Structure 1
Amino acid sequence: MKDGSASLNDSAQRIVDGMIGDAERLRINVSKGPSGETLIDTGAKAQGGIEAGLRMAEASMGGLGTISAGLDRSLKKWPLTVEVRSSQPAIACLASQYAGWNLSSGKYFAMGSGPARALARVEPLFEKLGYRDAASSAVLVLETAEPPPDAVVQKVAHATGLAADRLTFLYAPTQSLAATVQIVSRVLEVALHKANDLRFPLENIVDGIGASPIPAPHPDFLTAMGRTNDAIIYGGLVQLFVKGTAKDARELAEKLPSLASRDFGEPFARIFERFKGDFYAIDPLLFSPAEVIVTAIETGDTYRAGGRDEMMLERSLG
């Protein structure tokens, strides 16, 4: 851990413990896997809901994010909105929330997000972040309809250096309400990830807040995935507070919005089909909020770029 930083996994474990205590109210199912791991179904066979999704998103940020849902009257058709903020955005978003850990095994596929990543540190991203967690338990979030098979559990146990009975897996399929909320709660994270791709110094991003409409879930996987991506790409709003010169802040604001991508302008589901389901063929610069505000805290200057595209939201969100 960096000096003065609380453990991401310890903070997430407190959120998980609260979810277990509130399981009936949250409409989630808690069970133990064959190796003693804790499994929390927030939207597969369990009903789940908005609150379960918010708690899952908070756990995925290692407790370093504040997440809430509300109604934005300016969005007449999609007023339900998620708001995410963090005063340690690089650690909360990139060391924890980012879905960067491939946990495939046989026919099972899932990308892991959450603070267990900061214990395993198997991704090259951690070399740049310089963050290392230390904890006696670990929490991982999976966007999937099935609990992880034992091979995945053992892979996570080996990488984190923890026994399987010290691991908690929260999971829900993309088509569920809880997962929909959890996914669009990455609106701030995608801005941090793109800032990193643009080689903006992450240590200069000192605070951040983001908001995105929460689309209706859909039973079709491709449609559901398209809606959650489009909610951010065409409807997300992020404000970052940064150190450095006004020029640097202005350039970041100009480059961050999704409209800077070559693939901007189509519903995400259609883009995904055009690239035959290959995420890595899609321009990575597309994964960013529609509108960005960057404030240079040392000069007092604020720059804005991009904008909400209601026509594209109409096409995608239904």
Structure 2
Amino acid sequence: MTQDRRSSRLSLNERAAALVDRMIADAALLRVGVRIGTEGETLVDCGHRSRGSTEAGLRLARIATGGLAEVSMAASPEGSMGWDVLVRTSQPLLACLGCQYAGWHLKSPTGAVLMGSGPARLLARHEAILDGIAHHEVADRAVLLVEGDAPPDCAIAQSVAEACGIARDRLVLLHSPTGSLTGMTQVAARVVECAMQKLRLAEFPPDAIIEATGSAPIRPPHPDTRIAMGRANDAIIYGGQVHLVVEGSDDEAQRLATALPSSTSSDWGRSFAQVYEAAGGDFSGIDSGLFSPALVTVTAVESGETFSAGRKQPEWLTDH
């Protein structure tokens, strides 16, 4: 497709690395820490030992998409902090599924499992979700976001560098826990990514999405990972909204709008914390259709017809 030929000339890791360099230059302002690892890898602490910030979360979200999305904040009457993250991209397939999706599971020698996202995934190509993405990534730097309760260690840095085919001193690992200011902001910025993931359940071709805009409330940070994870997921499930512009027929656009909202899930109607507890802390026991925005609008680009389904439920955005 034309979009694939254009995107093949992009180096998303290089775009992300340029954003990382700006973050490092502003480290003190953003309250992030920067250090060099044992083999020269760059480690950017966005919320573990360093405090982090909302602005760091916005920048982290841009980096996660390989620089293919604009990420900002807008005032919102919903949610306890009064602000939404707003995400816009004209390359939703590459930005969200190619880069931002946290599909790389990294296990350290201590047994900690960390989630990796960002354009380094396109160099490693360990995940089946990347098989349908024709983009050929070429870069001499690799950028990966790592989310979890602990920072990445030397073993993870080594495994990521080897998988990406680069030297350790060309690797950047940015890390934050979910419950930090940075983490809660960058998770809310995954609202469009969640809709793009659910396209697979709806059997809709992701490369037919040509524009995507979404928003979700920023929830307060919390030191307990389970509480923070519940708040962050509820922000998207009950407070998130997306607008997709698609190629295809009106019937297909309407079918997509109907299929995507989180309310289509059998697990909808309870807080995510309750769903997670009922599943015994096992994500495989949760209906994957739950991880989607509350309100979805789809516009068929050829006809201009627009279809909406679902609704936001701000009453679920309480700080339990």
TM over 0.5: yes
Which residue of 228, 232, 235 maps to 1:228?
232
- TM alignment of 1:268-283, pairs within 5 A: 268-283=272-287
SS of the counterpart of 1:262? Answer: coil
Distance 1:163 1:310 in 2: 47
Q: TM-score, normalised by structure 1?
A: 0.96
Residues 281 and 126 of structure 1: CA distance in aligned 2, closer, same or farther (over 3 Å)? same
Which residue of 186, 204, 208 maps to 2:208?
204
- Aligned partner of 1:167 in structure 2 is 171
Per-residue deviation at 1:174?
1.1
- Are 1:87 and 2:62 matched, yes or no? no
- TM alignment of 1:43-192, pairs within 5 A: 43-72=47-76, 74-75=77-78, 77-106=80-109, 107-192=111-196
- Are 1:259 and 2:263 matched, yes or no? yes
- Aligned partner of 1:4 in structure 2 is 6
Distance 1:77 1:281 in 2: 29
8 Å contact 1:30–1:41 — kept in the other structure?
yes
Per-residue deviation at 1:2?
4.1
8 Å contact 1:246–1:301 — kept in the other structure?
yes
5+ long unaligned stretches in structure 1: none
Residues 271 and 110 of structure 1: CA distance in aligned 2, closer, same or farther (over 3 Å)? same
8 Å contact 2:91–2:211 — kept in the other structure?
yes
Q: Which amino acid aligns with 2:142?
A: A
Residues 76 and 102 of structure 1: CA distance in aligned 2, closer, same or farther (over 3 Å)? closer
Q: Which amino acid aligns with 1:289?
A: P
- Aligned partner of 1:306 in structure 2 is 310
5+ long unaligned stretches in structure 2: none
Number of residue pairs aligned between Structure 1 and Structure 2:
315
Distance 2:28 2:197 in 1: 35
Per-residue deviation at 1:197?
2.6
Q: TM-score, normalised by structure 2?
A: 0.96
Residues 135 and 2 of structure 1: CA distance in aligned 2, closer, same or farther (over 3 Å)? farther
Per mean C-alpha deviation after superposition, the further-off stretch among 245-254 and 146-155 is 146-155
Per-residue deviation at 1:282?
0.5
The Cα offsets for residues 52-100 of structure 1, whole Å up to 9 and x where unpaired, read as 011111000000000001212x327442110001000010000000000
SS of the counterpart of 1:197? Answer: coil
8 Å contact 1:121–1:132 — kept in the other structure?
no
Distance 1:101 1:150 in 2: 17
Per-residue deviation at 1:196?
2.4
Q: Which amino acid aligns with 1:28?
A: V
